[in-house]
Amino acid sequence: MITYSIVDGTESSLKNFLKTLPGVDQVGAEARAAMLGTRSIKAASKNYAIELAISMVDLTTLEGADTPGKVRALCSKGLRPDPTDATVPHVGAICVYNDMVSTARQHLDSIGGSDLPIAAVSTAFPSGRASMPVKIHDTQDAIDAGATEIDMVIDRGAFLSGRFGEVFEEIKIIKELCGDRAHLKVILETGELVTYDNVRKASYIAMLAGADFIKTSTGKVTPAATAPVVLVMLEAVRDYYELTGTRIGVKAAGGIRTTKDAIKQLVLVNETAGPEWLNPALFRIGASALLNDLLQQRMKMREGRYASPNYVTID
Amino acid sequence: MSAFEYAPAPESRAVVSIEPEYGLFINGKFVKGKKHFPSINPATGEKLSNITQASNADVDKAVLAARSAYQKTWSKMAPAQRAKYLYRIARILQERAREFAVLETLDNGKPIRESRDVDVPLAAAHFFYHAGWADKLQHAGFGSAPKPHGVVGQIIPWNFPLLMLAWKIAPALATGNTVVLKPAESTSLTALLFAQVCQQAELPAGVVNIVTGDGAVGAALVNHPGIDKIAFTGSTDVGKIIARSVAHSGKSLTLELGGKGANIVFEDAAIDEAVEGIVNGIFFNQGHVCCAGSRLLIQEGIHDEVVGKLKVRMAKIRVGDPMDKNTDLGAINSAEQLMKINELVDYGKKEGGEIWSPQCTLPSKGFWFAPTIFSGVTQAHRIAREEIFGPVLSILTFRTPQEAIEKANNTPFGLSAGIWSEKGSRTLWASNQLKAGVIWANTFNKFDPASPFGGYKESGWGREGGRHGLGSYIKGGDHE
């Protein structure tokens, strides 16, 4: 499944490969993203987009104050986002901290949600500042507890000091740990990488090292999933598919709070990577507040008016 | 719906009221005309209104009104007062932006996204910019007491009707001239709406006069003895006729003519953004752009990669109803222009260019041309030398930077060029070698009122915009 044929994992092979990537012109990338932001999505296409966006949400709680009760409520919400309407699809996954995975798994299994994936943030999320044995243990723990998706963070310190081999090696180790049991999402934390050139390079390192998904952010750093950042990452997965025939997913996380924001993301996907990426297996939106806005907009589209916020549940 | 297909998102046309018939705008009033011709919506063929074909006597009246306004009010007015009117016009354009955008799209066929986001905001920006100059002309480098020409005749094209009007009228008024303007035959409506803005702004009567009609009206204006200066934007052929007519007449002349802009992509370019720039360079405004990047020069080593990505990107171009907010490529402006495009494209095929267009369904009514590229074009092809003025790109290759420059400059034109490279030293070197009035680096078709625009060689005389553009409307300013 994992191909290391393009690079052999050594620092020099990575550096040589990354040098072949064209740069990103900041002004041009931002202009393209802004232009796509002007697309006007109405009527049937809006219904379609809302439905799709709901199914792509990684419904997330990543707070120090998380409790089993909070996590169970989140799981129920994710499985049946609108308790009054069974036609609403379930979300893409539930995303929690490592120690909440077993609570989430047990609860989901007990309410008929055993197919709903659970994503655990891992490798000393959000900073990634821990030794490798700790990161390995962190990930192993989550998988053993029943996580089916691992959202790991890259070592931004290593990346920014040019130690690309280390970044690659960590991802590769975590990927091997995940094996067939869990999908690996690699968080680049683009807000700390700052430049689009860095975003492109980090995307390739993650893909080459075996990521199933590349993810923008932890949600703990701003800016997060800005449109140009997501654009550059979508270009990377599109070009990587050309190169290898493998489709890697993209997860936009952080700062996407409204239906409008979510639809803009879907337009970016549609017109950059292409319609093949418009499904929860290849595009996710990491969010918490977004789901309720999507539900309210969905009701509005059906009933022609906005309902009071009390018609959507607060979990 | 099983796929993410964008539902129609049409802009409402309720915001504009188009009158069944328009007269001429002379001396601050609309004057009924005798002869009329129809103005149609090129996207549907639907008739929008009847426009007056001005007579020689009408042109006389307009020039007389402009002369009288120049002598009695405009040349005597304090410059800060002139500025006040320009600011007022700029603000009204902003307030009525939606109205202008919708009308421009109906009349011209360009996508509402472009008229809304480019044409109208830039037109307002030109008035704001020149309003600022009106009382500071003594600091513009044309001496301590710069003088206007007097009465200026201005003839503008159909590709950016309102924007070209702004490029012409704003600097002319700021420097103290009065104006007789003739819009293009097929796109007079926004100019006539602008006449209403002049009334709304209480601009003194006769400072701006608008006469509509075909080339005969333009000729009457050019040859009128009461005109001190002619400013023309349009084809090189007509520009040459005007230059001959004006010779020995003592009239001052600026010309903004055709182009065959080279868009040069070096192997170290940011490829994705270069592809965007190529698309923007040739498909913006259906390629009806004098400074379009219509000759793409790609370094051989990256030719296949760039053309491959360009084709993928072109497949995403949304062609159709210009009033739809998601449309990227609108209608060709007229049957005549569509014929010209077809003729040159046929030549391109005969000469052995490899033609390619993405799958797209063109509307059955109106005038349409799919986005098109020709690969394998050489300098010897007609489609590499002549301006097509449509959504058709000729693709050539080069081996070395030196060769790129030689090919780029090997044209009778010299209006625009683009350079795509992540290497600053190469960009600076290339921009020094290129013989073109506007050179964009890692972008294309970017306009700003502060930046002078104009051509070398057959692309024209004089500059518009910026400090240099002021010179075109100041006595002796051309020769600075």
Amino acid sitting at position A149: E
Q: List b or e across A67-98, with b for residues whose CB sees 16 or more CB atoms inside 10 angstroms.
A: eeebbbbbbbbbbbbbeeeeebebbbbbbbbb
Residues of chain B in contact with residue A53, where contact means CB-CB under 8 angstroms, are none
Q: Is the pLDDT of residue B67 over 60?
A: yes
Task: Kindly give, in sequence order, each residue whose CB lies less than 8 Å from that of residue B7, ignoring residues fewer than 6 positions away.
Answer: A41, A42, A43, A44, A45, A46
Task: Please name the amino acid found at residue B37.
Answer: F
Is B7 in contact with A49 (Cβ distance < 8 A)? no
Per-residue pLDDT of B335-363, as tens digits, reads: 999 999 999 999 999 999 999 999 999 99
ipTM: 0.94
- The percent of residues in chain B predicted with pLDDT above 70, rounded, is 99
Handedness of CA A6, A8, A9, A12 (dihedral sign): negative
Task: Give the gap in angstroms from C-alpha A241 to the nearest C-alpha of chain B.
Answer: 13
Q: Could you give phi then psi for residue A249, rounded to 5 degrees? A: -85, 165
Q: Give burial (CB, 10 Å; 0-12/13-18/19+) of A114.
A: exposed
| pLDDT given at position A36 | 98
Residue B31's H or E segment, with its range, is: strand B29-31
Task: Write the DSSP assignment of B271-314 as a string of letters.
Answer: HHHHHHHHHHHHHGGGG--TT---EEEEEGGGHHHHHHHHHHHH
Percent of chain B with pLDDT over 90: 98
Q: Are B187 and B26 in contact (CB under 8 A)?
A: no
pLDDT digits (tens, 9 = 90+) for A237-289: 999 999 999 999 999 999 999 999 999 999 999 999 999 999 999 999 999 99
Residue contact A40–B326, C-beta within 8 A: yes
Distance in angstroms (rounded) separating the CA atoms of residues A152 and B337: 57
Model confidence at A2: pLDDT above 90: no
Average pLDDT, chain B: 97
Q: Which two tokens stand for residue B104?
A: 């421009």
User: Residues 24 to 83 of B: which have CB under 8 A from any A CB?
Assistant: none
Q: Mean pLDDT, to the nearest integer, of A157-171?
A: 97
φ and ψ at residue A305, rounded to 5 degrees: -150, 160
Distances (CA, A) of A145 to A103, A150, B9, B366: 9, 12, 48, 64
Q: What is the mean pLDDT of residues B184-212?
A: 98
Could you tell me if B446 lies within 8 Å of chain A, comparing CB atoms? no
Which whole-number Å values give the CA distances from A167 to A120, A158, A161, B432, in the listed order?
Answer: 20, 6, 11, 43
Find the range with the poorest average confidence among A3-17, B93-107, B212-226, B404-418.
A3-17
* Closest of A163, A255, A180, A242 to residue A207, by C-alpha: A242
Best mutation target, B113, B272, B276, to test chain A (most A CBs within 10 A): B272
Asked if residue B283 lies in contact with residue B317, where contact means CB atoms within 8 angstroms, the answer is yes
DSSP for A264-293 reads: HHHHHHHHHT-GGG-STTTEEEEESTHHHH
Query: Tens digits of per-residue pLDDT, B106-145?
Result: 999 999 999 999 999 999 999 999 999 999 999 999 999 9
For chain A, the residues whose C-beta falls within 8 A of a C-beta of chain B are 22-25, 27-29, 31-32, 38-49, 52, 235, 266, 270-271, 275, 278
In this prediction, what percent of chain A has a pLDDT beyond 90? Answer: 94
pLDDT of residue B479: 56
Chain position carrying tokens 């010309």: B255
Say yes or no for a CB contact (<8 Å) between A24 and B273.
Answer: yes
Calpha distance A9→A5 (Å, rounded)? 9
Q: What is the pLDDT of residues A71-86, one digit of tens each?
A: 999 999 999 999 999 9
Asked if B422 reaches chain A (Cβ–Cβ under 8 Å), the answer is yes
* Residue A72 pLDDT: 98
The 10s digit of each residue's pLDDT in A55-66 is: 999 999 999 999
Sequence spans of domains, chain B: 21-257+457-479, 262-441
Please provide the average confidence, as pLDDT, over all residues in chain A.
Answer: 96
Q: Which residues of B touch A197 (CB under 8 A)?
A: none
Specify the residue for token string 């310190």.
Answer: A157
What region, left, alpha or beta, does residue B163 occupy, with left being phi > 0 and alpha being psi -120 to 50 degrees? alpha
Q: What are the C-alpha distances in Å from A103 to residues A118, A150, B437?
A: 11, 16, 68
A308 token code pair: 């009071």
The answer to whether the CB atoms of A32 and B276 lie below 8 A apart is: yes
> Measured between beta carbons, which residues in chain A are less than 8 angstroms from residue B316?
271
Torsion, Cα of B133, B138, B143, B148 (10° steps): 60
* For B267, nearest residue in chain A (alpha carbons): A22
Query: Is A215 one of the annotated active-site residues of the chain?
Result: yes
pLDDT tens per residue across span B71-120: 999 999 999 999 999 999 999 999 999 999 999 999 999 999 999 999 99
Residues of B taking part in catalysis? 256, 290
Pairing of strands B295-299, B354-356: unpaired
Distance from CA of A310 to the nearest CA of B (A): 30
Contact between residue A297 and residue A263 where contact means Cβ atoms under 8 Å apart: no
Looking at domain B262-441, its CATH superfamily turns out to be Aldehyde Dehydrogenase; Chain A, domain 2 (3.40.309.10)
Task: Kindly report, residue by residue over A170-221, the tens digit of the pLDDT.
Answer: 999 999 999 999 999 999 999 999 999 999 999 999 999 999 999 999 999 9
In whole angstroms, give the CA distance from residue A149 to residue A159: 24
pLDDT of residue B429 exceeding 90, the answer is yes
Task: Name the active-site residue from A135, A185, A201, A251.
Answer: A251
Instruction: Reply yes or no: is the peptide bond before residue B146 cis, omega within 30 of 0.
Output: no
Instruction: Name the strand (E) or helix (H) holding A177.
Output: helix A164-178
Residue of A nearest to B422 (CA): A23
List pLDDT tens digits, range B387-418. 999 999 999 999 999 999 999 999 999 999 99
pLDDT at A1: 43
Cβ–Cβ gap B9/A42 under 8 Å: yes
Residue with tokens 């070698």: B433
pLDDT at A228 over 80: yes
Query: Phi/psi class of residue B409: alpha, beta or left (left: φ > 0; alpha: ψ in -120 to 50)?
Result: alpha
Q: What are phi and psi of A251, to 5 degrees?
A: -120, 120
Average pLDDT over residues B23-35: 98
**pLDDT confidence band for A3 (50 / 70 / 90):** low
pLDDT for A315 beyond 90: no
Specify the length of chain A in residues.
Answer: 315
Look at B7 and A38 and tell me if their CB atoms are within 8 Å: no
What residues in A contact B8, CB-CB < 8 Å?
Answer: 42-43
Does the pLDDT value for residue B480 go beyond 50?
no
Chain A nearest CA to B322, separation (Å): 14
Region for B401 from its dihedrals, namely left if φ exceeds 0, alpha if ψ lies in -120 to 50, beta otherwise: alpha
| DSSP-assigned states of every residue in B34-45 | SEEEEEE-TTT-
Domain boundaries B21-257+457-479, CATH class? alpha beta
Sheet holding B21-22, edge to edge: B21-22, B47-53, B35-40
Per-residue pLDDT band for B48 (boundaries 50, 70, 90) equals: very high
Hunting for tokens 């041009």 — which residue is that?
A: A28
DSSP A257: -
Domains and CATH numbers, chain A: 11-302 (3.20.20.70)
**A44·B1 Cβ contact <8 A:** yes
State the count of interchain CB pairs (< 8 A) between A and B. Answer: 76
Q: List Cα–Cα distances, A40 to A108, A228, A304, B323, B324, in angstroms.
A: 37, 18, 18, 12, 9
B interface test, pick of A19, A36, A45, A270 with most B CB neighbours within 10 Å: A45
Parallel/antiparallel/unpaired status of strands B178-182 and B151-155: parallel
A27 and B443 within 8 Å at the Cβ level: the answer is: yes
**Does B357 contact A at CB distance below 8 Å?**
no
Residue contact B9–A29, C-beta within 8 A: no
pLDDT of residue B106: 98
Among the partner residues A40, A235, A271, nearest to B9 by beta-carbon distance: A40
Smallest Cβ–Cβ distance between B443 and the set A28, A41, A42 belongs to A28
Q: What is the pLDDT of residue B1?
A: 61
Q: Which H or E run contains B223?
A: none
Tell me the pLDDT band of A5, cut-offs 50, 70 and 90.
confident
Residue B440's H or E segment, with its range, is strand B438-441
